[in-house]
Structure 1
Amino acid sequence: MAEVDLQNTAFMQAVSFVNHTNRNVFLTGKAGTGKTTFLKYIVQHSYKKMAIAAPTGVAAMNAGGTTLHSLFWLPFGMYIEDYELAWNDDDNHIYNRRRLFGKVKLTKQRRALLREIDLLVIDEVSMLRADTLDAIDAILKSVRRDARAFGGLQVLFIGDMYQLPPVVKDKEWEIMSRYYPSPFFFDAKVLREQPPILLELKKIYRQSEQTFIDLLNDIRNNCCSPQQLALLNSYHRPDFAPPEGEPYITLTTHNHRADTINKKELEALPGKPMVLKAKVSNDFPENLFPADMELTLKIGSQVMFIRNDSGDERRYYNGKIGYVKHIDTAESALIVEFKDGSDAVEVKREEWENIRYRYDRAQDKIEEEVLGTFAQFPLRLAWAITIHKSQGLTFDKAIIDAGSAFAAGQVYVALSRLRTLDGLVLHSPIPLHSIRTDQQVAHFSSNVVAEHEVAALLEASQRNYAGHVLLQAFSWERVADAMATLEGDLAARNIADQEEAVQFIRALLLDGQSLQQVANKFRNQLDGLLNRQEPTDYHRINERVSSALEWFLPKVDAELVSPLEGHITAWAVKKRTKKYVEELKALLMDLKRKREQLRQCAVITEALEKGTDLQEVVATSKLAAAEVGPSDNESALVVARPKGDTKQISFELYKTGKSVEAIAEVRGLTKNTVIGHLIKFIGKDLEASELVEPDKLKTIVRIIRENPGKTAGAIKAIVGKEVEYHEIRVAQASISH
C-alpha cells in the first residue's frame, strides 16, 4: 500500500466518518489525491464487516472486491421501480420491482450476507448508473427489513465524477430519461431522498508543477482559458516517434486504435512471437479477466505491469513500463528491464481470485470465498492502451490521442495520468469541444462539505452513531426471529425426544418474546431521550441505561443463556441431533453477542455523559464486532479492534512536534482521545509531565496515593473541577510505570 500521509486532515477525517459513524459518504478528489490509497487504508484499518464492489469487472479486480451485479445477483438490464411491463421482446431488458425480485434468487446464505454487512464500499462510482443503485437499494431494504436508505447499511462511495461516466445506450436513455434527470449514481431516487456526505481529498500527490495542476483543474472544471488551451496544444507533435529506449505509451480513445498500434510495433520487432496462455481454474468468467488470456510477446516488447509487486521488495507497480529481455517458457518466467536505472526483475505468473462474499455466523465475519483463479503474467503490451484502461495509473511519458474524445472526462483522465507536462506529447490537437464537463456533475460536486464545517459535522455524526449503537443493543428482532425459525423447523425434524425439544424451544421463545416486549418499550423511551429538541441529557440517559442493564442482564443469563447451555449439553449425546445441536450453538452465540452488546452500553453512556473518548469508545464498542469463542458454557468475547494501531499513529504525529490539539484536528478525534492514545507511551517514550503541567501532576499523584484503590470518578470528586478526567488518567499511568 502507498505510504499514508497521516498529516492529511481531510484523509483522516474521512477515515473517522467511515469508521466511527454510520453516515453514507461520497469520497471524491482530483486524480492523484489518494482515493485508491484511502480504500486500501480502510480495508486495513476498519473493524466493520465490509464488502467491496465496483460497477465493472476490471474496477472490481483493481479494488480487490467483486462486481455489484455479482454481490447483489442483479440481472443485466435497466431497473425502473414502477415501470408498467408489456411483457414482450421490447421490454425484456427492463425490470420493475416485481420482475427484479422474480429474477434475484436470494438464498438463506445470501440473505444472511446482506443482513450482516456493516459497510458497503463502491469504488469507481463515476461509472455506476442511477437505476443500478436503486435496484441495490430495493434489495437491501427488502432483505434487511428496514425502510431506511440501503436498509440502514452504511455505504462508502469512492470516485471522481469528472472522470469516466456510466455507459447508457441511446435506446436505454429514451426510457430512463423519463424517470431520471441523469444516469449518474447521485440521481438515484434513494440518494435524492437522502444524499451522502460529500468529502473531498484535495492534496495532489501525482503532480507537483503548479502550471500543470492549474491546467488540470481548469479542464476538470470546464473553464479552460484560451491561453491554457494554447499551452496544452503546444505539445502537439503529429510526427513524433519515441526515441530508442524511451518508454512512451500512447493513450487513445478506442480499443481498435490501441490494438492496431500494439500489433504494428510487435510485428516490427525481430524474432518469433511467443504466446503465453493464462491458467484459469474453476469459476472465473471471461468478462472478469484482468489480463489477456493469450499474451503474445517478443524479446524487446514494451510492456506495462498491471498490478503491484506482491513481494516485500516492491520492485514494480501498476503502470510501470519496461521491456522484455528474456522469455523462459520452460520455467514460466520472464525478465523485464527498465530504462530508469532500476534493476531488471524476474516476473512470474500472478494469481487473481474471483471471490464471493459469505457470512460466517459462528465467527460473525464476512469472509471471501474463492470461486476461481486466473493466473497470468501481470503484463500487457504497452505501446498503447485505451484511456479507459489507464484510469488509476501513473506515467512519466505518454502520447495522448484524445482529439476525438467522445465521453466527458476522457481528456481529463488521459492528461491526469502524467506526472509532468514535460512527459506529454499530443498526437492530435485537443479542440475546445472535447474539454467538457457535465453540468449536473458540476452542480452535484459543489455540495462538498466546507473544510471548516467537517469537524463539527463529524462530532455530531459520532454522537448520533453512539445513540444508534445504544438503540440497536436493545433490539431483539433478529434473536427472536432466529428462535422462531428454529421452533418452526423443529416440528419436521426426526430427532431424539423431539416433543421435549419442541416444548423447550417454545418456552425459550416465549421468554425471548417477553424480553423483546420490554426491550421495545425501553427503546421507545431511549429514542425519546436521544432525540429531544433541547440539548440531550446524557446524565439521564446514563442513569436509565444503567437501570435497564441491571434488569436485563440477569434475565438474559437466567432465562435464555443458562437454559440453552443446559439443553445443548443434554441433547449433544442423543442420536440424530448433530444438526440440531449446531443450530442451538449458533443461537447461543447470538444470545452471547446480544449480552455483550448490552454490557457495552454502560461504557458508551458513561463516555457520552463525560464527553470524553467518544471515538475510541465507538470503535471498541461496535455491536457487530463482538465475537464469541467456541466454549459452550463460557463466553470468550473479543471485541474486534481496527487492524491498524491508532495509538501509534497519534504518537508518531506527536513526535513530529504536533500539539495534542493539532493531532486531534488532523485525525478528526477529540483532545481527550488523543491523550488517551499517548498515555500508552508514558514511562517508555513519553514523560507524564509533557501532558500535564508538572505541579498539577504532583498534586494529582499525591491524592491518588493517599486514596489507594479509588476510581477516577472518586478522585475527580476529591480534586474538584480544576482537574479533568484525562489528567487523572495521565497521573495514574505515571504511577503504574
Structure 2
Amino acid sequence: MAGIELNEGFRRALAAIEAGRHVFVTGRAGTGKSTLLRYFRATTRRRVAVVAPTGVAALNAGGQTIHSFFGWRPDITPARVRRVGEEKGRLYRALEAIVVDEVSMVRADLLDCVDRFLRLNGPSPGEPFGGVQMVFIGDLYQLPPVATALEERALSALYPTPYFFSARCLQGLDYELVELEKAYRQQQDPQFLEVLDAVRNGTVSEGQLALLNGRCRPDFEPPPHELWVHLCATNAQAEAINRRQLARLRGRAYTFVGRIEGRFEREYLPVPVELALKAGAQVMLVSNDPLGRWVNGTLGRVREVWPDPGGPAALVEPYEGGEVEVAPHTWELYELYLEGEELRSRVVGRYTQMPLILAWAVTIHKAQGKTLPRVVVDLGRGAFAPGQVYVALSRATCLQGLVLKRPIDRRHIWCDRRVVRFLTEFRYRRSEEALPLARKRELVEAAIREGRPLRIVYLKPDDQRSCRVVWPKEVGEMEHGGRTFLGMRAYCSLRGEERTFRLDRILEMGPAEP
C-alpha cells in the first residue's frame, strides 16, 4: 500500500503480529488503527479472518460479524457452543489468525464463546483459541460493549467487567499490548490534542474545560457555504435534523431505493433502503471510490440529482473542492471458505444503493472512525455511555472546527475506571517483566553516584503517561498517604521542582543528556 507511514508503533504492531503472538493494538482516535489493519491484510500471506462486533464495522473492515463468521444466533452463550461438522470444520482448522476489529464493543462472554468454539473446532483442539493467533484492535476509551440492563446484571455475576479483557479465556494468557501513539487527525493543533487526551482518560483540568466551553454557541447556525456536521447522541435526534434540513431545500426530492441480493442482513446496510436526495443536500460519502476521488467519510453537497437509471445519479461537490459524479455503488458481503490449503472468500450477498447518507447530522456512534473538519456537538440530555464525549470531540481536526450547542459539564466527561485500571495494571506488569524493580533501583543508584540525569517514562494510575528528565537525589523505601513504596526523590525538569516517583510506575528508564 503506497503512502503508508510505517512509524515505530506500526512497526512494533506488525512485528508482533507477524511473529504469531496474541496482540492487542490500541491507540487514541486518529492514530491509524484502521490503516494498520488494511496494511496487514494487504501484505500478509497468512490465513487470516477479520471479524467485528457490528455489521457496519464488519463491512468497513472487509470482514464478517463475529456471529456470522461462527454461525451463531444472537443469543449464543459459551454453554451453547458446539462442535461443527467435518466439512464446515475444515475452514476453522485452517485458520492461522483472527483479527477482531472494534474490540472495545466486544463483550467478555462473546469472546469466551470464540475461545470455546476454537478449542472444539480450531487447528489445535483444547488449546487457548484452538491454537489460532488472536489480534484485537480498538480503543477501550471509545464506545463500550452494548448490553441491556438485564444482560448487565447477568454478566456482573460472572465477570468483573463486560469488556473483552475480562473474558475468562484471557486470564493467564500471554498477550502483548501495542499502543499507536502518533495522532494524525489533530497533528496541526497540539493544544486540542492535549485536551482530547485529558477527555479520553477523564483528567480534564478546569482550564481545559473552559477552553472547550469557549466553543459553546447555543444559537449557532452553520453558514450556507460551509459544511458542519451535527453529532447527536441518538438516531432520533440526527434523523429529525436531517428531515428538517432536507425539507427546507427547494426543488424536488428524488428517492433512491436500494436493492438487496442474496444474504445481506439489515445490520450490514451502510445506507437506508430508501434514500431521499435534493439538490443542495449535505451528504457523506460512505464508500471508497476506486478512482480515489473520495473516501469513506468524505463530506460534500449535492449539486444535481439525475433519476435516470444506468448512469451517474448525482453530482456532488466534496468538501475539498471540485465536483464528482456519483453512481449507485454495490457493496459485497463475503464469507471465508477453504479451497485445498488456501483460505479464500466468496460473495454471499450484495447491496446496491447510492453511496451517500444525509449528513447535516449523524450519530456519535456512526461517526466513530471518521474525520470531520467541522463538527457541532449536541449531547442532548448528556452522555449516556463512557467515552461518548471523547468520540464526538475527537472527530474534529482542530479546536476552531468545533462548536458546542450546550456547555460540557464535568459529569459528561467520564471514562470507565475499570478500563483505566486494566490498562495501567497491564502496563505496570509488562514494565516489571522488562525492567524489574531491582534493576531500576540499580540504575537510580548509579545515576546518583555519577551525578547524571535519567530519562523516564512515568505512568500515573489514571493512565496519564509522561516523558521526563530527572536528576535523582535519593532512592529507597518511602511513605505517602500511609502507604510505603520503593521510590525515587528527584529534581524533575518537567515540573521544575523536586518530586517523588514510585519505581513501579516507571515504565522505561535510561540515561539522558544533561
* Same fold, TM-score > 0.5, yes or no: yes
Cα distance in 2, alignment partners of residues 400 and 66 from structure 1: 31
Residue 453 of structure 1, CA deviation: 7.4
1:60 to 58, 61, 85: 58
Q: What residue number does 2:503 align with?
A: none
Distance 1:339 1:370, change over 3 A: closer
Cα distance in 2, alignment partners of residues 425 and 318 from structure 1: 23
Residues 483-522 of structure 1: pairs in structure 2 closer than 5 A: none
Amino acid of the structure 2 residue aligned with 1:241:
E
Distance 1:48 1:268, change over 3 A: same
Cα distance in 2, alignment partners of residues 365 and 210 from structure 1: 46
Q: What residue number does 1:45 align with?
A: 43
SS in 2 for 1:433: helix
Amino acid of the structure 2 residue aligned with 1:379:
L
Distance 1:372 1:381, change over 3 A: same
Please state if 1:206 is matched with 2:185: yes
Please state if 1:422 is matched with 2:400: yes
Q: What residue number does 2:9 align with?
A: 10
Cα distance in 1, alignment partners of residues 270 and 302 from structure 2: 20
Deviations 1:379-404 (A, max 9, x none): 10000000000000001101001251
Please state if 1:182 is matched with 2:161: yes
Larger Rg: 1
Residue 193 of structure 1, CA deviation: 2.6
2:87 to 104, 109, 112: 109
Is 2:48–2:96's contact at 8 Å kept on the other side of the alignment? yes
Please state if 1:380 is matched with 2:379: no
Please state if 1:130 is matched with 2:108: yes
Amino acid of the structure 1 residue aligned with 2:48:
M
Amino acid of the structure 1 residue aligned with 2:191:
T
Query: Identity over aligned residues, as a percent?
Result: 40
Amino acid of the structure 1 residue aligned with 2:81:
L
Q: What residue number does 1:360 align with?
A: 339
Amino acid of the structure 2 residue aligned with 1:14:
A
Is 1:324–1:334's contact at 8 Å kept on the other side of the alignment? no
2:27 to 4, 26, 29: 29
Residue 167 of structure 1, CA deviation: 0.5
Is 1:54–1:65's contact at 8 Å kept on the other side of the alignment? yes
Amino acid of the structure 1 residue aligned with 2:413:
I
SS in 1 for 2:171: helix
SS in 1 for 2:348: strand
Residue 432 of structure 1, CA deviation: 0.8
Greater mean deviation of Cα atoms: 299-308 or 323-332: 323-332
Tell me which protein shows more helix as a share of its residues: 1
Residue 107 of structure 1, CA deviation: 3.1
Is 2:313–2:328's contact at 8 Å kept on the other side of the alignment? no
Is 2:318–2:324's contact at 8 Å kept on the other side of the alignment? no
Amino acid of the structure 1 residue aligned with 2:285:
F
Is 2:330–2:352's contact at 8 Å kept on the other side of the alignment? yes
Q: What residue number does 1:395 align with?
A: 372
Residues 464-543 of structure 1: pairs in structure 2 closer than 5 A: none
SS in 1 for 2:81: helix
Residues 94-173 of structure 1: pairs in structure 2 closer than 5 A: 97=79, 99-101=80-82, 106-144=84-122, 145-173=124-152
Q: Which runs of 5+ in 2 are unaligned?
A: 436-514
Cα distance in 2, alignment partners of residues 329 and 288 from structure 1: 25
SS in 2 for 1:256: helix
Cα distance in 2, alignment partners of residues 16 and 108 from structure 1: 34
Amino acid of the structure 2 residue aligned with 1:71:
F
Distance 1:441 1:78, change over 3 A: farther
Cα distance in 1, alignment partners of residues 60 and 141 from structure 2: 20
Deviations 1:119-153 (A, max 9, x none): 10000000000000001100100113522210110
Deviations 1:596-655 (A, max 9, x none): xxxxxxxxxxxxxxxxxxxxxxxxxxxxxxxxxxxxxxxxxxxxxxxxxxxxxxxxxxxx
Please state if 1:351 is matched with 2:321: no
Is 1:75–1:100's contact at 8 Å kept on the other side of the alignment? no
Cα distance in 2, alignment partners of residues 336 and 410 from structure 1: 34
Distance 1:340 1:130, change over 3 A: closer
SS in 1 for 2:376: strand
Q: What residue number does 1:440 align with?
A: 418
SS in 2 for 1:446: helix
Cα distance in 2, alignment partners of residues 100 and 78 from structure 1: 7
Residues 272-351 of structure 1: pairs in structure 2 closer than 5 A: 272-311=252-291, 314-330=292-308, 331-338=310-317, 340=319, 342-351=321-330
Consecutive aligned runs of 4 or more in structure 1 exceeding 6 Å deviation: 452-457
Aligned residues: 430
Is 1:134–1:189's contact at 8 Å kept on the other side of the alignment? yes
Residue 449 of structure 1, CA deviation: 5.5
Deviations 1:462-495 (A, max 9, x none): xxxxxxxxxxxxxxxxxxxxxxxxxxxxxxxxxx
Is 1:245–1:339's contact at 8 Å kept on the other side of the alignment? no
Cα distance in 2, alignment partners of residues 229 and 2 from structure 1: 40
Residue 284 of structure 1, CA deviation: 1.1
SS in 2 for 1:31: coil
Residues 205-284 of structure 1: pairs in structure 2 closer than 5 A: 205-208=184-187, 209-284=189-264
Residue 448 of structure 1, CA deviation: 5.9
SS in 2 for 1:333: coil
Deviations 1:44-72 (A, max 9, x none): 11111011000000100010000000111
SS in 2 for 1:48: coil
Q: What residue number does 1:91 align with?
A: none
Residue 340 of structure 1, CA deviation: 4.6
Residue 440 of structure 1, CA deviation: 1.1
Deviations 1:346-394 (A, max 9, x none): 1111111111111112xx1111111110111111000000000000000
The two structures have a TM-score, normalised by structure 1, of 0.57
SS in 1 for 2:98: strand
Amino acid of the structure 1 residue aligned with 2:121:
V
Cα distance in 2, alignment partners of residues 2 and 427 from structure 1: 40
Q: What residue number does 2:173 align with?
A: 194
Residue 41 of structure 1, CA deviation: 0.5
SS in 1 for 2:385: coil
Distance 1:455 1:34, change over 3 A: farther
SS in 2 for 1:338: strand
Cα distance in 2, alignment partners of residues 381 and 444 from structure 1: 39
Distance 1:62 1:2, change over 3 A: farther
Amino acid of the structure 2 residue aligned with 1:206:
R
Cα distance in 1, alignment partners of residues 91 and 76 from structure 2: 24
Amino acid of the structure 2 residue aligned with 1:288:
Y
Is 2:251–2:278's contact at 8 Å kept on the other side of the alignment? yes
Cα distance in 2, alignment partners of residues 406 and 11 from structure 1: 33
Residue 332 of structure 1, CA deviation: 4.1
Residue 447 of structure 1, CA deviation: 5.0
Cα distance in 1, alignment partners of residues 2 and 317 from structure 2: 21
Kindly report the root-mean-square deviation, in angstroms, between the aligned alpha carbons of the 2 structures: 2.0
Cα distance in 1, alignment partners of residues 40 and 25 from structure 2: 12
Cα distance in 2, alignment partners of residues 336 and 429 from structure 1: 38
Is 1:246–1:339's contact at 8 Å kept on the other side of the alignment? no
Deviations 1:413-462 (A, max 9, x none): 01111101101010121111110111111122225659x979989xxxxx
Residues 575-724 of structure 1: pairs in structure 2 closer than 5 A: none
Cα distance in 1, alignment partners of residues 317 and 433 from structure 2: 46
Cα distance in 1, alignment partners of residues 401 and 366 from structure 2: 19
SS in 2 for 1:308: coil
Q: Which runs of 5+ in 1 are unaligned?
A: 82-96, 458-737
